[in-house]
Structures are given as structure tokens and as C-alpha cells.
Amino acid sequence: MSQKSQGKQKKTAIRFLREANFPKWYQEVITEADMAENSGVRGCMVIKPWGYGIWENLKARLDQRIKETGHENCYFPLFIPLELIEKEAAHVEGFAKEMAVVTHHRLVSKDGKLEPAGELESPLVIRPTSETMIGESFAKWIQSYRDLPVMINQWANVVRWEMRPRMFLRTSEFLWQEGHTAHATEDEARVETAAMLEEYRALAEDWLAIPVIPGEKSAAERFPGAVETHTIEAMMQDGKALQAGTSHYLGQNFSKAADIKFQNKDGGESFVETTSWGVSTRMIGAIIMTHGDDDGLRVPPTVAPRQVVILPIARDDEATARVLPAADELVKKLNACQAFGNPIRAIADKRDMNAGEKRWSWIKKGAPLIVELGPRDLDQGTVMVTERTDIYGKSSHNTDEFVAQIAQQLQGIQDRLFNEAKAYQDERLRTDIVDLDGLKKFFKKDKYANGGFVRGYWDESEDSEAALKPLGISIRCLPYDQPTEPGTCILTGNPATKQAIFAKAY
């Protein structure tokens, strides 16, 4: 258990510094914050209460917004018959290399060993995404323009087999929501695609304090089967990009594959226009790599499983008898308050362990506020408060005043996290690189500090994008806010009308 002294030489709670070894720092934060662990199944992780609690709070918020914007939740099967997924050619090609396949439906014991038995007539794949299954239902549900739009969502697990798994970022199984809608017109479908990307932007920025760049993906980076893919791209503290949510305009590709037709207002028959959009547990990786520091995780108060942790400080039985009930009382008062539209989530940590170790366990978990409460505090009617964003800035406050301003204080921490991350991103968004050489040089700089994002003109040519691949650089998106003047493509020197974001990426 690493400890930190208040002496001159700062020690950190995480063994690896971000700047020294970002991937190991990331892994270590997950372990020290007790968020997740590897399981006995390659590429699959166990999400522990602190990690899952963040997901539950993220989910509650997004689910509320999905419903407020007119969508209803459903549940579709885990399995997809091979003959169905084959229908959309680009789609199946995109996912063929990473699909888990079920071939048997029971086990038999043979020579004391279990073996698969009961071979299926036709294998089933485990959903990597559900356009196929949902398309089958849409074809049944939709007959007339009166049945449109259909706007649904599901919260589910999906499987995309990973050869190089990393917790939260790339796992063979992950949790997500996938929204699927069908519309009468292209216009409506495009409006929906944009509206849901805007929901994701708001979720990232306003709820998770993660600044993002919204934009459209290049053709090469599109979702398999989509006409357009829109994305929010976040910058991690190693300068790399993380695609944090995507919204796809699918046109009639899936409706033609699944034969989703409707009688239009003119009495003719048309294929519906569909969209899909998703956000996954990958977002937890984004939270870690955006907000974490060398002492562990820092969780935005909006989604912290515990926003306030009371640590009762008592050296003897007499003190314990006074302090524990006072801690419970304080939890009760706090939980009666609201922040971010929900009741405060406070607890008293009464575990029987070393006080310093206990305090550090919450710092590493990133609980926004740690409140120490000892007999002297009780005498004075005060509490000793530490903000996770300023762990050496302990200060004493009148208890009632502390409770009265709790929502503002949490909002203050939330804002600080966003502003810090925004400043980081702004600082590392380069707009002064004008050619391929400059680009190469910029991204070669450092193994872990990958420099950041480059924003520059691009002529949208396939070849120039493909040439970036061996360099480990990719086009993250064509941001929505574009200059009005044309310019020169930084990859080819050709004239270009649009700018793109170039970066190394997760």
C-alpha cells in the first residue's frame, strides 16, 4: 500500500506516473481504485462495485435523456442466426473477424471430461451489435407511415472478440446502450442522427466533464453498413484520441437488407430510413484517462458512486461512541440534500483499519469529498473537508454551513474537472502543422505523451488516409465547425475545403 507524506518530496499513490508510463498508470488506477479486474476468460473483465456504480450513474442519466427524447426501451436476443447477419454485406464483413460463435447447446461427459454436444443445425453468433435482429422486428412492426417513426433503445451486453484486450477500452464483452430508429424520410433520420450525437456530447461534457470534439467520420472509419458515422472524440492525458460515442445514419442499407418497407402517404411503398447510436462501458476508460491523476482516479461528482465519504476519527472507545453516531447523523443530513437533480450519495466508512490507509483508499477511488470527523470537530461543530481535486488543501468548516452548500461545492468540483480537461485539450490541439513531415515529426515526439490532436485541411482522399495507417495516425473526424475558406491538404498539398482532426487513438 503506497503512502504519501506531506513532506517536500511528493510521493504518489499510483506506482507509475502518467508521464512515465501511461498504460501502466491506467492499469494501476483501475486496480487501486478497485474498479475492475481481469477474469479467467481472456478479454473479459469483472466490473467491481466502484466501477459498476459509475456505470449505473452514467446509465441513469443517459437513460433519462433517451426517454425524454421519445425513445422506448426494449430487449432483443443475444443470438443472431448466421443466415440473418449475412444479409447486409458490409456489416457482416466489418464484424466477421470478431464474432463469438455458438455451435452446440449442451455438454456431455466423455472419459471424465466435458465436451460440447447437441450441435446446432445452424450456428448462432453472439451479437456484436443488433442492427440485424432489430431490423427483423422493424420489418414486422412497420407497415404504414402511421407506424413511423419507431424509436427504441436497449441496454445490453455485446461481444466483439479482442486479440489485444484492455480493461474498459477494448474488452471482448462490453456493456452498452444501442438506440435504433426507423423513419419515413431521410431528413428525419438525419435529424435523429444529429440529435443523438448532441445527446452524447452533452453526456460527455455536461455530465462526465469530458470535453469532446463532435464531427463526422471519414469513409474509412464508418460503422460497417452506415452511410455516415458521427462521433465525439475526446483527448486522453497521453494526447491520444478516444472515440467516446457514435451515431450512425444508415440510410436504406439495413432496411433493404431486412426488407423494412412501408406504405407512404402517397400510397406507394418505400424503404424506411434507419439510424443507430451507442455509448459503452468504454466511457469509464475515458473518465479514468481524462480525470485521473498520479494519486488515482478522480470521479466527476455527477457519477461518483459516493460523492461524500465521512471518515470517523476515533482513537478510543469513548471517542468511537461519540463519533460514529455523529457520522451517521451527518450522512443522513447530506443524503437529504440534492445535487445534480438527485439525492446526495454520502456514506460513513466505519471499516476497522488504519486511518491514513482508509483516507488514501478513497483518494485513489476518487471520491469527490472526504470529510474527517473526530471528537474535537464535534466539540467545535465543524468538519475537516478535503476535495479530491485538491488533496493537500484540507480545511475546517462549520458543519451546518458545509451541509447547506454541498450542492454548490460538488458543482464546483465538477466545473474544475471540466475546465482542467478543457485547458489540457485546448493546449494540445495544434493548428500550425501544414504538411506530412510536420505531422510525422509531431506524432513521433514521445512514446507515451503522444502530442495531442492536429487540426488541419484534408482533401478527403482515400489514399492519403490509408497512408497514415502505418504511422499509427488516424483521422478522428471532420469537426462540425469548419472554416469558410478553403485551404491546402496537409497530407497531399492538394486543395481542400474541410479540416480534419488527426491523432493517435485508442
157 near its own copies (CB under 8 A): yes
Q: Which of 329, 370, 367, 328 is nearest to 348 (CA)?
A: 328
Query: Among all chains, which residue has been given the C-alpha cell 440485424?
Result: 132
Q: Can you tell me which of 136, 238, 293, 295 binds its own copies, judged by CB under 8 A?
A: 136
What residues contact residue 358 under an 8 Å CB cut-off, 6+ apart?
311, 349, 351
Measured CA angle at 456 (ends 455, 457), to 5 deg: 145
Q: Does 265 bind its own copies (CB under 8 A)?
A: no
Among 3, 23, 64, 104, binds its own copies (CB under 8 A): 104
Q: Is 73 a binder of its own copies (CB under 8 A)?
A: yes
Work out whether 78 is an interface residue with its own copies (CB under 8 A). Answer: yes
Partners of residue 312 on adjacent β-strands: 373
259 binds its own copies (CB under 8 A): no
Sheet strands side by side (includes 382-387): 346-348, 308-312, 369-373, 382-387, 390-398
Q: How far is the CB of 135 from its own copies (least distance, A)?
A: 10
Pick the stretch among 129-137, 239-247, 354-362, 364-372 that binds its own copies (CB under 8 A).
129-137
The verdict on 126 binding its own copies (CB under 8 A) reads yes
Is 105 a binding residue for its own copies by CB under 8 A? The answer is: yes
Binding of residue 138 to its own copies (CB under 8 A): no
Nearer to its own copies, 53 or 292 (CB): 53
Q: Is 109 in the site for its own copies (CB under 8 A)?
A: yes
Verify binding: residue 70, its own copies, rule CB under 8 A: no
How far apart are CB 388 and its own copies at their closest, in Å?
A: 21
d(CA 376, CA 393): 19
Does 146 interact with its own copies (rule: CB under 8 A)? yes
Question: How many residues are there in the chain?
Answer: 506
Measure the CA–CA gap between 159 and 157, rounded to whole angstroms.
7
Write the DSSP symbol of residue 96: G
**283 lies in the binding site for its own copies (CB under 8 A):** no
The reply to whether omega before 149 is within 30° of 0 (cis) is yes
Question: Which amino acid, one-letter code, is at 221?
Answer: E
Contact window for its own copies (CB under 8 A) among 66-74, 205-213, 229-237, 497-505: 66-74
111 binds its own copies (CB under 8 A): no
- Does position 436 interact with its own copies (CB under 8 A)? The reply is no
Write down the least CB distance from residue 13 to its own copies, Å: 21
Measured from the CB atom, the residue of 124 and 242 that comes closer to its own copies is 124
Which region, judged by CB under 8 A, interacts with its own copies, from 124-132, 388-396, 428-436, 452-460? Answer: 124-132
Alpha carbon distance 451, 237 (integer Å): 10
Distance CA(174)–CA(181), nearest Å, equals: 22
Cβ closer to its own copies: 9 or 109? 109
Closest separation in Å from C-beta 116 to its own copies = 4
Given a contact cutoff of 8 angstroms between Cβ atoms, the answer to whether 162 and 98 are in contact is: yes
Residue 487 touches its own copies, criterion: CB under 8 A: no
Least Cβ distance, residue 118 to its own copies (angstroms)? 8
List binders of its own copies among 351-380 (CB under 8 A). Answer: 352-353
- Residue 40: other Cβ atoms inside 10 A: 6
**Does residue number 415 form part of the binding site for its own copies (CB under 8 A)?**
no
Cβ contacts of 28 within 8 Å, gap of 6 or more: 14, 15, 16
Helical (H) or strand (E) element with 198:
helix 186-202
Cβ-based neighbour number of residue 263 at 10 Å: 15
d(CA 398, CA 380) in angstroms, rounded, equals: 8
Subset of residues 188 to 247 that bind its own copies, contact rule: CB under 8 A: none
What is the rounded distance in angstroms from the CA atom of residue 26 to the CA atom of residue 32?
10
Give me the residues that bind its own copies (CB under 8 A), please. 37, 39-41, 44-49, 52-53, 55-56, 72-82, 84-86, 92, 96-109, 114, 116, 118, 123-126, 133, 136-137, 140, 146, 152, 156-157, 159, 161, 173, 175, 352-353
